[in-house]
Structures are given as C-alpha cells and as structure tokens.
Amino acid sequence: MKILFIFGTRPEAIKMAPVIKKFEKHNEFEVKVCVTGQHREMLDQVLNFFDIKPDYDLNIMKPNQTLYNITASIIKELEKVIKIEKPSLIFIQGDTTTAFVGALAGYYAKAKIAHIEAGLRSYNKYSPFPEEMKRVLIGHLADYHFAPTKKAKENLYKENIKKNVYVVGNTVIDALFLGLEIIKKEGEQKYYEYFNFIDFSKKIILVTGHRRESFGEPFKNICYAIKEIAENYDDVEIVYPVHLNPNVRKPVYKILKSNKRIHLIKPLSYPYFIWLMNKSYLVLTDSGGIQEEAPALGKPVLVMREITERTEGIKAGTAKLVGTDKEKIIKEVSVLLTNEVEYNNMAKAINPYGDGKASNRIRDIIKEVL
C-alpha cells in the first residue's frame, strides 16, 4: 500500500514526522515523502532532526512570492509526482497552501486523501487569513478526517462531513514528546551553551508573534506591552525569536531592542525551540501549534489574537485569549507572574489536545479501513 505524505512548512513537518515514523515501521506500507519547500531552511531543520529523507523536493520557494505564485507552482509540480507514484492514499496536514493544493491535486487524480488536524474553525474566513478557508475547502476534499478534538469533529459534522471522521488527538504532542526524548538522549549541554545569555534563575517569558492580521498598530501594541512588562518586573527575562518578515522585525526591533532583559534572537530550530519552551514560565504567542504544545509541558499560554480556532484550550483553561490590546496583555501577564493560584490553575489544567498517541491511532485506523 503506497502512501504519499505531502507537506511544505515547518509546522506541517513537525506534525507529520511522528506519523511518517509510525508508517515506516510497518512493511505493509510503502512510504513516499514529498516536500514542496514552501518554507526552506526551517523545513530542512525539522527533516534533519527527525531523520526524514524526502523522495521529492519541489523547492518552490522564491523571493517575494505571493499566494498566487505558491499555489500555481505547487499544483503543477504535484501533478508530476502523483502521476509517477499513483499513491493509494495521500496525507496532508493542517491549513497551509501546500495542504490545500495537495488535497486538490489528490482530488484531481481521484486519489484518497487523509487530513491530519481536521475540523479546526474560527468561522471568520479572513481570520486567520488565508488558513481558515483552506481548512474548510480541505474538509470537503478529504476522504479521511483525523480531528484532534471532539470539538473539531463537531465542526465537521455541522458542515455535513460525517463519514470517516475520527478523534485522535493532535500529532503535535506526539512530535513534542518524541523531540524532547531525542534531546535527552543527545544531552542538554549544547542547549545551555546556546542560550548562555539567559538567566534561568528568573521567570522566562517566551514570545512568538507573526500573524498577518496583526501587522501595523496591533503589532505595535503587542511590542509596547512586552516592553512595559520587562520594565515592571525585575525577576523576568523575555525571549523573543523574531520572525523574518519585515512587518514583524521593524516594530519589534524599534520598540524592544534597548531593554537588556528582552532578548531578540533569530528564529530557532525546532529542537532549540521546544527545549526553551520547556524551560519557560509562560508563553505569549499568536501561533496555533504552540497553543497545543505549551500546555503539554504545563506552561500557561496567553494568545495574542482576537479570535482563535483552537477554542478547546480556552475552554479547558490551558490558554487565555488576550488579543492585541496592550493593557489586557500586561494585566494577564501580571496575574500569572504574581498570583500562584491563578498560575497553577492554568499550568495544571488538562491539555485537551492529546496524550502523544495520535500517530498510533492514525496508523491503526488506516490499516483497518484501507
């Protein structure tokens, strides 16, 4: 049974890695991996860390590429791959352009399509943009839907997608545990050496921010909030791996570079990021995956977005939506820094996104249904 995994960005690679590893262990599956290179350097780091060697690398990344360019480039190249391989099943993950075009190309070839992380919805087609509509469209193209939570399954049912829908947990948790296990075997000394500028006796706040919908004034508000937090609390160090997009870098460096306890660093490879997250006190983020990963490590998450499609974490109490309002961000961070009861309520809440066994469930289901 030939299975083709298609992905192109770092988050996809992270969430696909444990699934690929599970399928590779069984002789009844012939595993083929195709990467589009929608991200390049960040994607390659994950492939190397998890020891995944692609059979096809479309390498579509170009300077200043638009959504139109990416979409056209991927579908033309995938047509060739699918014609050569004729897979029994195509796996795609999440809500990227690669995932959407992978599903569309598979549909054109009348191949079966399995969607990992199915059913996430914000119900606002422009937030997150363009991911929300890609999720919706993939849902109607796919044949097998691996929902991370019961809520995601219910979202699919509302759209009359009721066949072959399975709640399995999120594979990002599988990847996180697998990654930390690899790090432990390698030894942590090189990680401490890399982050030797951080005082780990203090409370570490890890920040990530890059959402398109926050560009402009909302992003400046986030930066001013971070600056004030650093000025107000001497026992805190803030670490911000800054996204390469100039719409992010310009306000971040302009507003935050002068504070000695705010460390603006280059984007981190996956192992260094999860190691640092594991050492952090709390996380400020607008990322989707981190809303799932951090609670698995007992780290409270404040989500700097107006809307999140990952509502399960909000409901469970592992995450809190703070938007891009400066005062609200400062207030909620202050509560977690000063109120031990509130901190423990978030840190010890049960993570709704899974137990690290989603990959096993996906493999077992596919063995049964195909």
Positions marked active-site: 95, 117, 131, 210, 212, 243
Helical spans, DSSP H, in 91-216: 97-108, 131-141, 150-158, 171-186, 189-194
* Helix 270-279 with 41-49: angle, nearest 10 deg: 80
CA distance 195 to 204: 12
Estimate to the nearest angstrom the gap between the alpha carbon of 201 and the chain centroid: 28
Place of tokens 């137990």: 355
Q: E strands within the chain? A: 2-7, 30-35, 56-57, 89-93, 112-116, 144-147, 165-167, 203-208, 236-241, 262-265, 282-285, 301-303, 319-321
Q: E strands within 230-313? A: 236-241, 262-265, 282-285, 301-303
CA distance 322 to 331: 9
Q: Which two tokens stand for residue 309?
A: 């499609």
- Beta bridge partners, 345, equal none
Radius of gyration of the chain (CA): 20
Estimate to the nearest angstrom the gap between the alpha carbon of 156 and the chain centroid: 20
In Å, how far are 3, 22, 112 from 27, measured between CA atoms?
12, 11, 20
CA distance 201 to 47: 33
- Beta bridge partners, 165, equal 145
2-7 and 89-93 beta bridge pairing: parallel
